[in-house]
Amino acid sequence: MADYPVLLQVQNRLCVVVGGGPVGIRKARGLLHCGARVRLISLRPLPDDAFLSGAEIVLRDYRPADLEGAFLVFAATDDPVVNAAICTEARSRGALVNRADAGEGSDFTLPATVRRGDLTLAVSTAGRSPALAALAGERLSESFGPEWATLLEVAAALRQKRLTLQEKTEYNRDILHRLLAGNLLALIAEGDVAPIDCLLESLCGEGLTLEHLGVRLPKGTK
C-alpha cells in the first residue's frame, strides 16, 4: 500500500526517542532542528559529539511511562523485543511511532531530505531502501543549490504583497516560469543585486526590487 506523504509541525511538541546509538541521535537532532521538545532514553552515556543541546536525556532503561504525552515516538534500540514493546505502548497512547529496525512495523517512515531555507525536498522509498533514498537525496542536493532558498523568499514576498494573488494559480506559475527563464537562479548565485532588480522590474512592475520585497541575498554570494 502506498504511503501518504505529509509534513508534520512538531514545534513545541514532545517527541520521544528510545535508543542512544547513531540512529537515535540522528533522529533526535532532526527533531531539535524543527523545534520539537525531545526526550531521549538511552542505556549508555551519549558520545561527547552528540550535540543535543536542549534535549531531555534520560540515562536508564526504557519505561512505558516515558511515552506519556508524546506526539511522535521513535523506537531505535538494538533490541527487537524492546522496539516491538515501544510500538505497542506508543499506539496505546495515541502516538505515531517509527521503528528503526522494521519499516513495515512503523506508522511512518522518514524520507531523505534536502533543505534550502524553508524549501524542503524529500525522497522516500517507503522504507524499502534508505540507502537508495539517501543517494537520490544527494542527487537532489547537487541539482538544487542554496540559491533556491532565496528564490522561495522572492516567490513568497510576491505572493504576500498580493502582486501574485493566491487565487490566481496560473498567474503565480507564469511569473515564476518567467523569472526562471530570465535566469533568476543564476543571478542569485552570482550575488549581483542590480541585474536581479532589473529582471524583477521588467517582469513584475516598476520599483519592484529586492529591497522592496524585503529579500536579502545570502552572505557568501559573489
Torsion angles phi and psi, residue 62, rounded to 5: -65, 140
- Which domains can be identified in the chain, with CATH numbers? 14-110 (3.40.50.720), 113-143 (no CATH), 147-213 (no CATH)
How confident is the prediction along the chain (222 residues), in pLDDT tens digits per residue? 688 999 999 999 999 999 999 999 999 999 999 999 999 999 999 999 999 999 999 999 999 999 999 999 999 999 999 999 999 999 999 999 999 988 778 999 999 999 999 999 999 988 788 899 999 999 999 999 999 999 999 999 988 876 665 566 777 788 899 999 999 999 999 999 999 999 999 998 899 999 999 999 987 655
Question: Nearest to residue 30, comparing CAs of 98, 105, 84, 104?
Answer: 98
| 215, 152 Cβ separation under 8 angstroms | no
In DSSP notation, 153-198 reads HHHHHHHHTTSS-TT-HHHHHHHHHHHHHTTHHHHHHHT-HHHHHH
Map grid coordinates 542512544 to a residue. 20
- H-type alpha helices, the chain: 22-33, 80-92, 130-143, 147-160, 169-181, 184-190, 193-204, 210-213
